[in-house]
Amino acid sequence: MHIPDGYLSPATCATLYATAAPFWYVALRRVSRQIGTRLIPLLSVFAAFSFVVMMFNLPLPGGTTGHAVGVGIAAIVLGPWAAMLAISVALLIQAVFFGDGGITALGANCFNMAIAGSLVAYASYRLLAGGAAAKSRRRVVAAGLAGYLSINVAALLAAVEFGIQPMLFKDAAGAPLYAPYPLHIAIPAMMIGHLTIAGLAEMMVTAGLVAWLQKSHLSLLNVPSGWQATRPLLAGLTVLLLLTPLGILAVGTAWGEWAPSQLKTVPAGLERLSSVWTAPFPAYAPSLLHRPWLGYLLSAAFGIGLILLTALVAGWALARRRRRRQ
């Protein structure tokens, strides 16, 4: 679901950046009053969780792969606006350092997964949970369905963005300039895997974590304050980090994320834009390491560390700014 550089036209990328920008702005404004005291620790942990969970590739029909996103549980715990920021941070680091998703397509990927995914997850959870008690089974079911709906809406948006490219952007001979897959191919190809395997994975992740929080750490569902309150999540994140090498067991590339060299015919625009950014550690495989599992593990550790370090610096800067105002 991470759209690479070259698959969307510059006009499409610019439109989706412009569409995402107001949501990012509102999200920053909404959480800025709390971010220095309550939300930075939790936001960073869920950004790191999303980063890692997206590294666990699952085999999908047709020989491709997919993954959960973690947007469902982030929206339920953080609320939709903070979840948008958390997932966007994870997607930004994936694109810049690991080439997982394009720089030009970052606005599209964030709109699909972070923004639309968060809004759908939060709205559907609140609607389905209703006024049920915090420890009720209904909330677990609502959480699972919210996760399932959110990832499938994100996948559908990505499929439509792929599918409109050959309709709108062609060369003088009528050949597609960017993604060559029309809607009648892109939508079924994307949705079959997400309505089944990837959607179920997101459902189980979201429902399972809500059930665990209900039994062990109910306060986390009320957005607690400080780093100490996130210790249970950090412990779980550490376990997930150690298991990341399992994510490379699934063979195949996610649909629509093929490198130009994997395509039989490479559209001119796709070839031109595909090299706009070269990630330092493409495909989570540092060139100095010859063992894929070790590279994958160290890449996950680097991504998590970068997210947590950014959170610490941001929290320090906000605290210092507030002291100056007093």
pLDDT by residue (tens digit) across 56-73?
999 987 778 999 999 999
Please tell me the total number of residues recorded for the chain in this structure.
326
96 and 279 Cβ atoms separated by less than 8 Å:
yes
For the residues 35-39, what does the mean pLDDT come to? 61
Q: What is the pTM of this model?
A: 0.94
Residue 316 pLDDT exceeds 80: no
For the residues 131-151, what does the mean pLDDT come to? 94
Fold of 10-325: Arp2/3 complex 21 kDa subunit ARPC3 (1.10.1760)
| Per-residue pLDDT band at 23 (split at 50, 70, 90) | very high
The mean pLDDT value of the chain amounts to 91
* Model confidence pLDDT, tens digit, residues 215-243: 887 777 765 556 666 777 888 899 999 99
| Per-residue pLDDT band at 279 (split at 50, 70, 90) | very high
